[in-house]
Structures are given as C-alpha cells and as structure tokens.
Structure 1
Amino acid sequence: MKNNLTKALPKTYTQDQAFNASLEYFKNDDLAARVWLNKYALKDSEGNIYELTPNDMHRRIAKEIARVEQKYANPMSEEEVFDLIKNFKYIVPQGSPMAGIGNPYQIASLSNCFVIGNSGDSDSYGGIMKIDQEQVQLMKRRGGVGHDLSHIRPKGSGVKNSALTSTGIVPFMERYSNSTREVAQDGRRGALMLSVSINHPDSEDFINAKLEQGKVTGANVSVRIDDAFMRAVKNETDYTQKYPIFSSNPKTSKTIQAKDLWNKIVHNAWKSAEPGILFWDTIINESVPDCYADLGYKTVSTNPCGEIPLCPYDSCRLLAINLFSYVENPFTEKATFNFDLFKKHVAYAQRIMDNIIDLELEKIDAILQKIDADPELDEVKAVERNLWNNIKRKAEEGRRTGIGITAEGDMLAALGIQYGSEAGNAFSLEVHKTIAIEAYRASVHLAKERGAFTIFDADREKENPFIKRLKEADSKLYYEMLEYGRRNIALLTIAPTGTTSLMTQTTSGIEPVFLPVYKRRRKVNPGDKDVRVDFVDEVGDSWEEYVVFHHKFKQWMEVNGIDTTQNFSHEELDELVKKSPYYKATSNDVDWLSKVSMQGAIQKWVDHSISVTINLPNDVSEALVGELYLKAWEVGCKGVTVYRDGSRSGVLISNDDKKEEEASNTLTPFPIKRPQILEADVVRFQNNKDKWIAFIGLIDDKPYEIFTGLIDDEDGILIPRWVNNGLIIKNRNEDGTSRYDFQFKDKRGYKITIEGLSYKFNPEYWNYAKLISSTLRHGMPIDKIVDLINSLQLDTESINTWKNGVGRALKRYVADGTKAKGQTCANCNSDNLIYQEGCLTCKDCGSSKCG
C-alpha cells in the first residue's frame, strides 16, 4: 500500500533540475528559462516544482483543452492541441491561462483583464468602498483591473454628510492606487487602470495627480477624450465640462479653453509618459459589445494596458499567434507567408479560446466554493461572492475572447520587408484583416456547433462600423453570421507580449525589434580559464566583452553563412546590421507618424484595441507629442501612449529642478534621538520556500529603521495576514536593556502588542539590521542603501537570503524615477534603469524586475 501511495504522488524537481532542463530547452537563453520557471512552471505554495520544461506545461494545457473539447461535436484530440501550442511556435496562451490551466495548486482566474464599476452613476462612499474591495479581490486572483472615476462628484460639490463638500477625484485615486500596491500576485503587484472623462470638471486634477513624486504610483491613468473636445482643440474653441458628465441637466458645469487643457495633457505626457489617451467616441462607436449597452455591455474603462475596453464585470483571456512561424524560407529570397496555414490556425486559436472560457467558468466555480467554505461571516463575504457571480454571468453570456499576435517585427524582417515602410504597413494590414475575418468565421462555425452567445442579435449589430467592414470584405461570412449567430461577443486584441515574446524568442507584439545586436560584459576573475580580457575599468577589474544577438537576427546570420561565434568589433556589428532586414527598422528608427498611421489602419480590423507605445528620443518637443496625439485621433486609433526617453526621471517634486538636484545630493539626517513611538509598515515576501517579514519604522513616511527575519510560528511571530501597519515602540526590560515592541489593532479595535522584536529573529540578522538602520537614520538615500546591501559579501546562504529580503523591502521606498547606477537591464543590457514602484524598470526596452 505504501508503494502504491508513493507511485501516486506527482514527481517533483529541484530548482536546479528545472532550470537546467529549461535552459537546454531554450537553447541556453538564460532569461527565457528563468521567466518560464519563475512565472509559469507548475508549482505549489511550498515551492515544489512539478514541471521540468515547457513541454510539460504545454502537455498540461493540451490535456485540459482536449477535455473541454469532448463536450462538443468533432472534438480535437490532445495531440492536435499539443501540436498547435508546443514549443511556443504557433499558438501561445498568454499569462493567466498559461499559468492557471490545469493548475490544482492555485485557486485563481484564467482572465488577464477585468473592468469593474457601480451600476448607474453612484458615487456614495459605500459604492466607492465596494469598488476598492472588488479591485483587491480580483488582484489576489491574478487579474489586472480597470475602472472609471467619472461618476465621482467634483471637488467642492455638496454632500449630505459631516464633510458637507466632496473632496473630488484625486483622494480616491490615491486610495485605489494604495490598494493595488498592497496586493502581491506571486511576487508582483497587481495592475490597475484608472480613467476619467475629459468632460468631468475634475479632469485637470486627475491629469496632474501623478506629477507629484510618490503619488498614485500603483496605477496607470488615462483620459477618456470625446470627439467634441478634439474638435474644440483643433478649432481653438471653448468646451463645457459637466457633472454628471454629458448631462442635459447638469448639477455643475464650467466652460474651459480646450486648447489649454490639451496642452496640459501633452506637457504631462511629454514630462512623465502619462496620462495615456483613450479616444472614447471611437471606442464606443466601433465597439460591437456596445450594441448591447442596454443589456449591461456599455464600455466604461479598459484593462491596465488599454487593449481591452470592457463593461463592468466583464473579463477577457489573452492568446497570441506567433506570426514569425508562418514565414517559409525566412530571410531568403524565397521567403513567403503561408496564408493558408495561417487561416487554419486562426480558426484553431479561436476554438481554443472558446474552450478556455469553459475552463474559466470552472475556475470561477472553484473560487465561489472557496468563498463559501471560508470561515468569515456571510456579510463579510457578500461583496466577493457577488463580484464573482457577476463575472461568471458576463463570461457565460458574452464569451468574450482576446486573440492577438506577437513577432510582427520579426515576421516583416523574415520576409525582407522594412518595418514602418509603406510596404511593411500594407502587409501588416493584410495580416490583421485576415485574422479578423478568419476569427469571426471560426466564431460563426462554433455557433453552428455549440450555440451563439445568448444575447446575439444581428439586427442590433447591423450598423456597427466593424461589422459593416466584415460584410464588405466577406459577404458570405456576414450572411452565415445572420443565419447561425456568433459564439463570442468580441474576439480580437493586440496586447503587450513581454514574457510571451521572451519565450517565443521574437519581437514583442506589434512592436519592431528593440536592438538586433548589442554587446555585454562579464567580469573576469583571477583563475578563470578560456577567457580573454577586452576591457579594464578604472579600479583595475578585468572584463570580457561578448555579443548578444536578437534570436531572429542570429537566424538571419546563420541563413547567410555568417559565423555567429566570431568576436565582432563595433564597426563590424554596425556593418552587419546595415546588411540585414532589421536595418532602419528598430524602435528608435521607425518614423513615429508612420507608426501611428499603421496603428490606425490595423485598428480597423481589431474589435477591441491595440496596446502600443510610441518611443521618442529625449530631445523631442512637446509640439511633436501633441502632433502625434492629434494624428492618432484622426487616423482612427482608440488610444495612444508616448514614452520620451528619460521622461520618467523628469517627474516633479518641486517647481525648482535645480534645487531638487542639489537637495538630492545632501544628506538630511533624522532626529538624533530615536522617538519612543514610530509608525511602521509591515512588508511580507517570499524567497524560495522561506517566508519573511519586515517591520519598517517610519518618520515622515521615510524608513528610519528595519527589523527583518523569517516568519517562525514557534518563535511567536504571529502577525495576521491583514495587518499591514502598526507602531514600533521602544521600551525597557527589567534589567534596563532596550527592546522594540510591535503594536497593532485587531479588527475589533483592540491593541495587541508583540514584545521584543529583537529577540524574535536570528541574532546575526539583528546585528546587520542595526547597521542598516544606522545608515537610514543618518539620511543616506534609500537607493544608495539598497546598493550597499546588494554589495555585502556574506558567508551563508541564509544570511544572503535575508540580505536580499531587506533590499526588496526597502526598494519600495525609493522615489519613482530614481536612476539605478551600476546596474544593467537583463533584457537589453542598457544601463538606463530607474526605480518605478519599487521595481527596476528599463527605460529603453520597458522590461521590469521586481525583487
């Protein structure tokens, strides 16, 4: 019996086993292997790993999709599904579906995107708090969330409570942002989009809210702009803001110069890359789901990256098709795009997406069962239960999908077409038009086999511009849709594919290549064998330089007989790039107006939206940013975001940049005598299997001291999970020695004190903590302390793990926009790294590393 039980247990792998196997799978691509292992390999809460390579993950996903297929006619087999998704070659479920499908160890949603909101225009405190709770409940299940604030009454409006007047939108932006920062999703914070209509009287305050450093750092912000405002900008005329927005009988209204507010938006976007813009009339007019607005499908906001506009309580799952894999004979004169295979696979992708909706409904049922089994009172669980019931209803009724792409840049290069050229834009348009027609055709065929989404009504949709374009492009498809309906209310998107593109080893999403080739350095240590010294720095350290090729650029070299192991000089690399199809086709080369025009043309064939960022050099003018925004509206984009190199570090703290710079180079000591009582944050984190906790004493919201160690129940560190702050109180023992106690309030408001933090942790941790606290108290900048901690050479694995935890805890207090010195991006080797919400973010390629 014991042997039978042993056989039944799933096989587990060590971190090293899984990493080495996945490293071999990805052909020594260290970054791809680590991303897959950390984010998507099946593991439990104890850190046990159950998958050795992505082959195991793809087999897990294929089994589940094939299981759903058995419910319907003409089911696909597990092998058929596996052949489509294996090796990230053709069809790639993104993010939550990849991590969650067939995962028995995590009760989480398969949806990547959610939007929430109150019915009607309720802006009561109860309604605002309900949204706050719903946001947190979704984020803990791995979802990104968006919601709109246009229903909140403007600042100074009368209210019937003790405050008498409303505080306006901005304080609630902070509330929702802080809630996002508190939620951890397997080592990452949740993602939030906040939007507001330009018609709202507080929209300027909303636009300015993120300019002050440290404010609203847990959210992306976008402004919903209507056509009337854009016409007023072009014509330099007045525009009237109202509350409620667009009301024929408003409680509040004011007339503004549209151009003045537009210039503010443009300036802030130039300065800090936010706000983004949502061209709201274009979104609503083009939206197929909004044909059912009176049935609950009125679009109110978007997900955090803007590619999925949604109604309240709807959600969407994402999948990418790897465009590079449909190029036959890539990088040769015989290169062609296999449209026949591509069309076939688009249909399979839509079918797989529809199956994933069934799997999501099972996940939601599991979440609801978990809620019912939780020991809290029903009144505590009511909001969460109602939230998931609402989401389930929308998923069942509308069956929304999110088919997108990756590798657009590599596809064009493999065909010998320059990205951003007239020919490149024309070919991309043909590809995306094909996706739209074939995905909709597949949804119609699925409706014939499985039934249409329950509220389908062809008459409601007949004047929709997107549906009209489908009718013009393929009348047979349109009339089939009239006869059988459609399985899914909306189908298409173009999302960012950061980690997906790392694993497909291609360019990201619709974007061009960032850099086809660059050089990196590795330090040469005494005694290293088979190395050469290419560079000696100012302190005498030796370095070996090596070349990193973009994967498909390397493939181009191999096709053309170029030795990829050669030690090229910078000049030789430049000459290589000039000969390649990536020449003048990088993110820094592409003409910005051409990219906007390309986005607008492709948007006509994407029923949701497109997430794309226009990267600009540092020296561009505000006028150019305004020109790009205006062009985006004119060509039919649904939204647009610009990023000017270095703009994040330009976030304002004061109006005097020079004083700010001088102040940053001056130590500002805290009080010499430690106050008896300090406010404190509680930060939890996990390193491998070990769970850690940090108590960070604060003065003026700045770290003053830190106590960090393992959470060890036997030693009495029993802090409830919901406790995120409290007080650190300095007291004395009977023998006169000092101790530090932690005090918090329970849910009834009673004070609970844990005595002697210094006795609860390993003495070695405590000694290092005193050293780090001393540097904090003398005003050393937090980013410099993090650098100091990272540079410590410690003896044991446990103390190094502790060191990493302290660094992670303190990073969250580094001011957004602070440049990280002496570090390079693991993705593109740039040294242009800044701190953003406690994470190191590359300003060149956008990749982010937390922890």
Structure 2
Amino acid sequence: MKQPADLPIVHVNQNAEIVLAKRYYRKGAAAETLEDARGLFWRVATAIAGEERKYKHSSWKADPLARAFFDVMTEWKFLPNSPTLMNAGTDLGQLSACFVLPVGDSIEEIFDAVKHAAMIHKSGGGTGFSFSRLRPKDSRVGSTGGVASGPLSFLRIFNTATEQIKQGGTRRGANMGILRVDHPDIMEFIRAKEREGEFNNFNLSVALTEDFMKAVEKDEEYPLVNPANKEETGHLNAREVFEILVQKAWESGDPGIVFLDRINRDNPTPDQGEMESTNPCGEQPLLPYEACNLGSINLAKFFIPGKEGEEAVDWEELRRVIHLGVRFLDNVIDASRFPLEAITQNVHNNRKIGLGVMGWADLLFLLRIPYNSQEALNLAQKVMGFINEEGRMGSKLLAKERGPFPAYATSVFAKREQGPYRNATVTTIAPTGTLSIIAGCSSGIEPLFALCFARNVMDGERLVEVNPHFEQALKDAGCYSPKLMEAVTQKGSIHAMDHLPEELREVFVTAMDIEPIWHLKMQAAFQDYTDNAVSKTVNLSNSATVDDIRRIYWMAYEQGCKGVTVYRDGCKSTQVLYTGDSEKKEAAAEASNRPVRHRPDLVYGFTQKVNTGHGLMYVTINEVEGRPFEVFATIGKSGRSTTAKAEAIGRLVSLALRSGIEVEEIVRQIKGIGGEAPVFMQGKQGQVQSIPDGIAWVMENRYLKAHRSVHEQNGLGTQHCPDCDEGLVFQEGCLMCPACAFTRCGG
C-alpha cells in the first residue's frame, strides 16, 4: 500500500534516529539507507494490518487499521519487539524475538538443536534451552560403550556456535541455558561462570523445584536424578547448594533462578507437555519448539496533566491501545515466517502473545510518586491488572471474529469454562532497552539508571542526555542550572544532594538509590497480573553482601515471582575492594590491629591459568566475604625446586592476606620480579617474568584494574559497549548500552 498523502512526518529524537539508522532502516546492496522513520513505521503498519484481509468477519478493514497501527506506533504509545520493526514487510519476514528449543539426549538431537539455534539467530531471534535431559558427565552411553561428557561440554558448543552469527549487522541473539537443580551435574553448572569470558553468549539459570525449596527451608538433603534412566545418583544438602548458588550470583550475577513448578502451574496447555526453559531474559516461559510475539505500551503517554494518582491515567485511551496491541500481535503471528516447521505449528496452535509495558518510571515521575513506595506498588497492580483484563477481553473479541486458538479445547481455559480466547497467553513484561530509546521513555518497569549522563558523539563532542521529566521538575521548582546538570551528570543521582527539595530527591530516584527489596516488590506487583513472566533486574551496590542476595532470592520465592535476576554493581569485570579513600584507610587501620584470620571450613574461589617460562601455572585464589583469603600456585611437569618455589610464594601471599595486608601492597611487592625464563602471554600486556610476577598479574587483574567510566562511577556498569565504547548497564536481565542501543539480548 502506498503512503497516503496526509501521512505525517515522524519526528524522532537524535538518539532514536541514530538507533533507527543503524539497526532498523532497510538497507540497499551498498548498505545505503532506503527508508526514514515514516517509511519504516508505514512498512510495518501495512504489513501487519494486511493480515486482516484473511478474516471476513473482522471488525476492521485493512487500510484504516494500517493507519491506526501507524498512529499508535508513531505517537510512541505502542511498539512491537525489534524483529517485527526490522523484518515486517521484508523478504525475511521473521518477526518473533524469543524461542525455546529442546535438547534431547543423543548426539543427533543435540546437534539438531545447534543447527536450529543457528537458523533462529540468523533470522533475528534469541533462544532458550534446557540441558536437563542430558545424562550427567561420565555416565555410560549404551550405544557406544563410552561415557557421556555432560551438559556443560555441550553448552560450550552451543555458546561457540551462536557466538559466530551476526544477524545482518542488526542483532546478536542471546541464549538462556537452564539446568534443573536435581541434575547430577548441577554443581558444575552453578560454577560455570567462575572464570570471566566463559559462556559469554549465555544467561544461565537454575531451575528450582518446590521440593528443593522445602528442603532448603528444612536444611535437608534432596536427591540427584539421572534423566536418562530416572535413577537417583546421590544426594546433596539443599541449603548448601542454595548457599553456593547465592555466592556465585553475588560474584558474577550468574546463575539466576527460575521457579519451574510455579511456571508450570501457569502453563495454559499442560497436555502439550511441561515448560522447561524460557527465552534469554527469562520473561517468556515456552514449550519446546515454541515462540512468542511481544510488544510494549509506553505508560508515560497516558498521563493527564493537572490530575493526581489514578485519575491522572487516561484509562479509556489505554483501553483502546491495549485492544489495538492485542490485534497487532495476533496479526504478527500470521505475518511471521518461522525458521522451522515445528515452531510454525506450535505457534499457530497456541497463538501466544506478550503485551507488556515501558515508561513506568517516567509515569511515576509525572505523578510525583516515588518508585520505592507502597503507592507505586498499588498503582503497578492497578495498571497491570487493567492491561491483563482488557488484553483478555481483546483476545476474546478476536476469538469471536476468528475463532479461538486451536489448542483451546484441551487448555485450562476450556476446563474452567473461561473464554474462548484467541491467545493462550496475553501479557509479558519484556525488555525494552532498544524500544525505549526509540520511544524516548524509560525501560520496561525499571527505574532509571541515571537522571543525566554524558555520551561522546562525533569529533569528541560531549552530549548530555537528561530525563525530560526531571529537567522540567527542576525548572518548575526553580532549581535548574547548567552547573547543577553537570553535577548530576557526574553522579547520575540527586539522592545525596541535600540542597535540593526533599520531594524531588524522593521522587527522582535511580536504580542504585533504591533498596533491593523495592526492586523485588515491584517485580512481584507486576507478576501478580502477568500471564507469562517479568523481565527485571534487582540491582545492588558493589558493597551488597551475600546475605542481601540470599534475602532477595528467598523473597522472590515467597512473593510469587517466576524467577529473579540480581546484579551487583561492578561484579562482572573487577571485584572492587573499596568504595573510596576513606574506607580504604579505615580498612587498612583495622587490618593492622587484626590477628591472622583462621580459615573457615568452607571457602569459594577461582582458578586462573598462567603461562610461565617453567610451564603452565594454575593460580587458585579462595575468597571469604568477597575478599581474597588464600592463594595456591601449582606448576605441572616441572622440577621439584620450581614446584616448591610456587608453593612457598602462595603460602606467603596467603599469610599476608590473612594478616590484613592489602592486595595492592602485595602486588606492588611481587609484580615485576624478574626470572630466567620470561614469556609473553595472551591477555597480558608484556611478559610474565617469573612465578611471583604471574601471581601478581592474576591478583591485579582480578582485584585492582578498575577502568571505570563516568557511567561506571555512577553504578552504570563495568563493561564497555563494543560499538561505541560507552559503559553498559545491566537491566531487564541483560547488558545494554543506553547510548547506542547495543544489547546482548535483543530488545
């Protein structure tokens, strides 16, 4: 359909235009841009509205529906997930973001899954896998008489294969890897990301069962079960496993957890089997060979100025957009061309959609409601309850026009005499990192990471991004000034700026201003009225303890969440020992008066391989409360003298650590000590000159190197965007760049 003469020009902000031009606009053979924002949204609107012609009893005609879809998208009230914006109306035609593939317990099934994952990633999607069907490491393989290599070895193959696929320069798909807590290899899985860089294309989650959680509560053992023959292979203490799971999440953010029994209690089509995995960010549990189409409503666009509380929400307009969104997403199912026939069949059989939200933090700003307040939680339940109820009504109307989803007769809805519905699920809170940049709003249901931040653009120019609602509030209060904006840009937050009005400091809070418990409460409030699950990150400061994460995990279980992701600031690339000079001095003073600490019975650590002139050295550092406690250095295939030197240096460094000597002082003493056989090592600038120099490199790399940008100083991440080198932030279960919209999980 040609563009109507009265189709308005679409105005986008500078950041959105950069994102659209780089990732969304259609390109020609010479990579030239073939469309602008108006062309993109008209392409999508007409392609999706065109599906209406298949239904002779539809209450809409295709042409006016296309205009309605165009308007609702370009008014930034609703946007579908990224693959729909990229591919609708194109030859590719793959419009879904999230898929789940089964991994069976045979070489043929495993490598079929690798192949299918490659096809999905090539088409723009991300994949979730459960590796729980694979027999454990070292168990017998009947057909060959050999032994199995276990889930982790195959997980590494999946990671390598999908890492190589770059989807047309627009999206790099992510993966979710899940293992049941009762799988015999669960401890290896929990520790899979102890070394940074391992499985970097995977989010990992442990599938916890109700029986396991009860065993944790009672401090009991639970059985490990070989999935190949259903036989028990041993027992573990549930509380000890839970503690290690919490410890590893504290160290790196991985693994997360999903509550498998809770997910399956909400499975609308249990006759088709159990759900065993989710999409990469955890918000969409799916059956094997199933996909889901997602879209998000920008809540900030439904604010009515001059009113307060619930009366300031335009409920009638929200209802209209919900119904349009449900129709849009159902049409996407018909318009999408899936990479596998099995996926096509399952998607059309269940017709799952996931309508969610973005701009939640912005709406709270406009309403002057603090994110960390009971009033915000109450409104969250009101808003999501309304969206879920109206979404169901929209699905019911579609069922009258088009018929219910084919599997309706055997679904839980038919047994409860509910519906009929067109869609087995209607609501999902999905990540909206890229979409929210296009729409100019806050991501999903997350608080802002920073009220202001600076990003570098062409020729070294520095552009300050300011939340518009915050800027207006400052002007209304007579507080705005360029000097203040610069100060906020440096800090990202006004939480500690006592000279500003208290109401402003209470309302305009950022992710790190908010106690972790409020993050979790907000997730639970939205989950209460969401068919699928909620993508949300519980952000913690670097100083957060293992106990803090334990409480969050347990509270997620108690409050009905289907899973939870935590992220302790700075845990990914360096373990920062101090938050400031004053704390450093206090810690040093305390250490000088402290006796040698005794070794606990149970410690956790990591092992780093170092190439030395004497052979490969393995440096193991164990930690207590996140701080290095002891060091072991071993060198294989070397003389007894060299082995003795390595052991002696490790013992002395351990004694220094246990006596309170700071890491940087130890590194200063042993770094650069020369030896008779220096060697170059990948990842180290220069040579490993000796055994002590190699140990120093490991300690410095792990504990002291903190290349921290302004984003990082604000608690905005410690990894850098591969596209623009800005600091990445961790939200909605994924690392993403607020400057250029790069994301490791899509959006």
SS at match of 2:408: coil
Query: Could you say which residue in structure 1 is the equivalent of 2:173?
Result: 190
Does 2:12 correspond to 1:26? yes
Amino acid at match of 1:210: K
Is 589-598 or 235-244 further displaced after alignment?
A: 589-598
Paired AA for residue 390 in structure 1:
A
Q: Tell me the CA shift for residue 629 of structure 1.
A: 0.1
Q: How many angstroms apart in 2 are the aligned matches of 1:438 and 1:835?
A: 41
Aligned to 2:67: 79
Which one-letter code corresponds to 1:842 in the other structure?
L
Secondary structure of the corresponding residue to residue 86 of structure 2: helix
The letter of the residue matching 2:471 is K
Q: Find the aligned partners of 2:230 and 2:153 in 1 and give their Cα distance.
A: 23
Partner of 2:421: 486
* Alignment pair present for 1:287 and 2:287: no
Structure 2: where are the runs of 5+ without partners?
Answer: 576-605, 609-618, 622-627, 632-652, 654-662, 690-700
Cα distance in structure 2, aligned partners of 1:351 and 1:297: 27
Q: Which position in structure 2 is the counterpart of 1:38? A: 22
Residue by residue over 1:533-558, the C-alpha shift from the partner in whole angstroms, topping out at 9 and shown as x without a partner, is xxxxxxxxxxx988542133224345
- Residue from 181, 187, 204 that aligns with 2:187: 204
Q: Distance in 2 between matches of 1:445 and 1:439?
A: 10
Shift of 1:241: 1.3
Deviations 1:480-527 (A, max 9, x none): x1xxx11111111001111111122111101112222356799999xx
Structure 2 distance, partners of 1:823, 1:315, is 38
Question: Which residue number corresponds to residue 638 of structure 2?
Answer: none
SS in 1 for 2:192: helix
Pair 1:643-2:567 in alignment: yes
- 1:617-632 alignment, distance < 5 Å: 617-632=541-556
Cα displacement (A) at 1:108: 4.9
Structure 2 counterpart of 1:92? 79
Query: How far did residue 565 of structure 1 move?
Result: 6.0
C-alpha separation in 2, matches of 1:490 and 1:299: 14
Give the SS at the match of 2:251.
Answer: helix
* Residues 666, 92 of structure 1: alpha-carbon distance in 2 compared, 3 angstrom cutoff: farther
1:64 is aligned to 2:47: yes
Gaps of 5+ in 1: 1-7, 11-20, 368-387, 468-477, 526-543, 674-698, 704-774, 781-814
Q: Note the 1:211-226 alignment, pairs <5 A.
A: 211-226=194-209
Seen in structure 2, the aligned counterparts of structure 1 residues 141 and 666 have a Cα distance that, compared at 3 Å, is farther
AA aligned to 2:331 is N
Cα distance in structure 2, aligned partners of 1:817 and 1:331: 51
For the Cα contact (< 8 Å) 1:519–1:547, is it kept in 2?
yes
CA deviation profile, 1:233-258 (whole Å, cap 9, x unmatched): 1111111111128xxx7334211110
Q: Are residues 564 and 643 of structure 1, via their aligned partners in 2, closer, same or farther at CA, if it must alter by over 3 Å?
A: same
Within 5 Å, which residues of 2 pair with 1:689-708? 702=682
Shift of 1:315: 0.4
1:604 is aligned, of 524, 528, 548, to 528
Q: Which residue number corresponds to residue 403 of structure 2?
A: 451
Q: 2 CA distance for matches of 1:598 and 1:569?
A: 31
Q: Report the equivalent of 1:499.
A: 434
Say if 1:62 and 1:334 are closer, same or farther in 2 by CA, change over 3 A: same
The separation in 2 between residues aligned to 1:201 and 1:459, in whole angstroms, is: 33
2:88 pairs with one of 101, 120, 132? 101
CA contact (8 A) 2:208 2:257 kept: yes
Q: Write out per-residue CA displacement over residues 595-643 of structure 1, whole angstroms, 9 at most, x where no aligned residue.
A: 3233223212111100110000111110111111001001100000110
- Residue of structure 2 equivalent to 1:275: 255
1:304, CA displacement in angstroms? 0.4
For the Cα contact (< 8 Å) 1:114–1:316, is it kept in 2?
A: yes
* TM-aligned CA deviation for residue 588 of structure 1: 1.4
- Would the aligned equivalents of 1:824 and 1:833 in 2 still touch at CA under 8 Å? no
Which shifted more, 571-580 or 586-595? 571-580
Residue 133 of structure 1 corresponds to which residue in structure 2?
115
SS of equivalent to 1:834: coil
Per the alignment, in what secondary structure is the counterpart of residue 507 of structure 2? coil
1:834 matched to which residue of 2?
719
Measure the CA separation in 1 of the matches of 2:192 and 2:293.
Answer: 31
Q: 2:138–2:150: 8 Å Cα contact kept in structure 1?
A: yes
Q: Distance in 2 between matches of 1:429 and 1:549?
A: 29
Aligned residues, how many? Answer: 626
Indicate the SS of the match to 2:430.
coil
Counting only pairs closer than 5 Å after superposition, residues 702-851 of structure 1 correspond to structure 2 as 702=682, 821=707, 832-834=717-719, 842-843=728-729, 846-848=735-737, 849=742
**8 Å CA contact 2:98, 2:125 repeated in 1:** yes
How much has 1:183 moved relative to structure 2?
Answer: 1.0
**2:249, 2:256 within 8 Å by CA — same for their partners in 1?**
yes
Contact 1:616 1:645 (C-alpha < 8 Å) held by counterparts: yes
Give 3-state SS (helix, strand or coil) of 1:614's partner: strand
Counterpart in 2 of 1:234? 217
Whether contact under 8 Å (1:116, 1:313) holds in the other structure is yes
- Take 2:102 and 2:292, find their aligned partners in 1: how far apart are those partners? 16
2:519–2:539: 8 Å Cα contact kept in structure 1? no
Distance (whole Å) between structure 1 residues aligned to residue 96 and residue 35 of structure 2:
22
Q: Is the 8 A contact 1:265 1:275 kept in 2?
A: yes
Q: CA deviation at 1:409?
A: 0.9
Check 1:816–1:277 CA distance in 2 against 1; reply closer, same or farther (3 A cut): farther
**Where does residue 613 of structure 2 map in the other structure?**
none
CA contact under 8 A between 2:569 and 2:715: conserved in structure 1?
no
- The residue aligned with 1:150 is 132
Alignment-derived partner of residue 655 in structure 1: 620
- Give 2:263's aligned amino acid: I
**1:335: how far off?**
6.9
Indicate if the aligned counterparts of 2:574 and 2:704 stay in contact, CA closer than 8 A. no
Question: Shift in Å at residue 215 of structure 1?
Answer: 2.0
Q: Deviations over 1:430-468 (max 9, x none)?
A: 1001111000111011000011111212773367xxx7x
Deviation, structure 1 residue 578: 4.2
What is residue 578 of structure 2 aligned with on the other side? none
Q: Does 1:116 align with 2:105?
A: no
2: CA distance, partners of 1:102 / 1:818? 51
Q: With the length of structure 2 as denominator, give the TM-score of the two structures.
A: 0.76
Amino acid at match of 2:167: Q
Query: In the alignment, residue 293 of structure 1 is paired with which amino acid?
Result: P
CA displacement at 1:594 relative to structure 2: 2.9
Name 1:553's counterpart in structure 2.
470
CA contact (8 A) 2:721 2:728 kept: no
CA–CA separation in structure 2 for the residues paired with 1:460 and 1:401? 17
Asked if the contact 2:124–2:172 (Cα under 8 Å) also holds between the matched residues in 1, the reply is: no
1:337 and 2:272 correspond: no
Match of 2:656 in 1: none
- Per-residue deviation, residues 87-137 of structure 1 (Å, max 9, x unmatched): 42x111121111111124xx251110000115xxx4111111111111111
CA distance in 1 between partners of 2:125 and 2:93 (Å): 9
Paired residue type of 2:438: M
Q: Which residue of 1 aligns with 2:588?
A: none
Q: Secondary structure at the match of 1:214?
A: coil
1:274 shift after superposition: 0.3
8 Å contact 1:497–1:509 — kept in the other structure?
A: yes
Greater Cα offset, 63-72 or 629-638: 63-72
Question: Secondary structure of 1:833's partner?
Answer: coil
What amino acid is aligned across from residue 280 of structure 2 in structure 1? P
Aligned counterparts of 1:625 and 1:437: Cα–Cα separation in 2: 33
Q: Percent identity?
A: 27
How has the CA–CA distance of structure 1 residues 356 and 272 changed in structure 2, closer, same or farther, with 3 Å as cutoff? same
Q: Which residue, out of 236, 253, 265, partners 1:256?
A: 236
Deviations 1:624-667 (A, max 9, x none): 11111001001100000110111112584343258898599769
Alpha-carbon contact 1:313-1:391 (below 8 Å) kept = yes
2:589 aligns with: none
